[in-house]
Amino acid sequence: MNVYLDNASTTKLSTNVFISMKPYIFDFYGNPSSIHRYGIEAKSILERSRLFVSEILNTDPSEIFFTSGGTEGNNMIIYGFIKKFKIKNVITSPIEHYSIIKPLKNLYNDGLINLNFLNIDEYGNIDYIHLENLLKKNNNSMVLLMHVNNEIGNINNISLISNLCKKYSSIFHSDVVQSIGCFKYNLQLLPVHFLVASAHKFHGPKGIGLVYMNKSTSINSFISGGIQEMGIRAGTENISGVVGFAKSLEIAYNNMKKNKSYIEGLKYRMICKLKKNIPNVIFNGNSGDMKKSIYNLLNVSFPSVNDYNMFLFDLNIKNIFVSSGSACISGATNSSHVLNFLNLKNNIYKKKGIRFSFSKYNTVEEIDYVVNKISEILLRLNHFKN
The active-site residue out of 165, 182, 272, 328 is 328
Number of H helices, E strands in the chain: 14, 12
Residue 265's SS3 state is helix
Residue 254 burial by CB count (10 A; 0-12/13-18/19+): exposed, middle or buried?
Answer: exposed
Residues 179 and 294 sit within 8 Å (Cβ to Cβ):
yes
Active site residue 328: yes
Q: For residue 186, which of 56, 70, 50 has the smallest C-alpha distance?
A: 56
Contacts of 231 (CB under 8 A, 6+ apart): 221
Exposure string of 257-290, with b = 16+ CB inside 10 Å and e = fewer, is eebbebbeebbeebbebbeeebeebbbbbbbbee
Residues 150 and 120 sit within 8 Å (Cβ to Cβ):
no
Rg, C-alpha atoms of the chain = 21
Residues 203 and 252 sit within 8 Å (Cβ to Cβ):
yes
The count of C-alpha atoms lying within 13 angstroms of the C-alpha of 247, restricted to the half-sphere facing its C-beta, is 21
Q: Which residues are catalytic?
A: 328
